[in-house]
Amino acid sequence: MEFFKSSSFGNIVLVLTVIVTLFIWYNDKKQKIKSYAQLLLLQIRSIENGITEIQTNGLDREFLNESSFLAIPILFDKNYWDEYSHLLLNKLGVTDYEVISNFYEKSSRIKENQIEIKNKMKEFLYWRGYHIYNSKYSVGLDISKDSMTVNQMIDVIKDREKILGFSMYIPGEYPKQILKLLGTYKPLRGTVAYSKLEELSKIKVF
């Protein structure tokens, strides 16, 4: 019993407490890194799939496949690399860190251009639909309140003009610009940097 009251026992308890605390901290850090890597992998795959869809369905050589392009979702909303990259630098190394940063930089530019083109298309649809809706129903359409969705607007235009498709007359500079951006883009899958992210997503935690 005297041992449990001694300073030696107190020191042992203190050391064990420090060890357990460090273990919990280290394990929690590994879990966060694993979660961040998994989240990034999911987003990277989604971005690559989206860009592939733009290349195959959204564009026809040097022209926009307008209806298909409009239907393609925006590449991503939140940039997880901006949020978590600084926490992964030591694990990835400078070279692979820069490879992933470059991927996100190129993807962000494509996304910005995609949004710009989509907004131009929506602007055309709303105003064309506005005039058609007025002439058909003699009722003003308050486009500022988004009283009609883009798909509803397209249906109104098709019904009015009795056509299956129509051109939005998007200036040629827009497809040229996104084609130029796509020319500088390279998928991340298949690179060493991507493999390292996969390894981080599979690290063991307790």
Considering the domain boundaries, does residue 205 fall inside one? no
Domain presence at residue 115 = yes
How many domains does the chain divide into?
A: 1
Angstrom distance (rounded) from CA 30 to CA 33: 5
C-alpha 147/C-alpha 159 separation (Å) is 18
Tell me the C-alpha distance between 139 and 144, whole Å.
15
| Segment 91-115 mean pLDDT | 95
**Does the residue 148 lie in any domain?**
yes
Does 168 score more than 70 pLDDT?
Answer: no
Q: Is residue 169 part of a domain?
A: yes
> Does residue 206 lie within any of the structural domains?
no
pLDDT at 169: 61
Mean pLDDT across 196-205: 87
Residue 120 lies in a domain: yes
| Residues 60-79 pLDDT 10s | 877 888 778 888 999 999 99
Range of the domain at 135: 2-200
Structure tokens at 116: 């710009």
**Would you say residue 164 has pLDDT above 60?**
no
Contact 64, 170 (CB under 8 A): yes
Instruction: Indicate whether 180 pLDDT > 50.
Output: yes
Q: What is the chain's mean pLDDT, rounded? A: 79
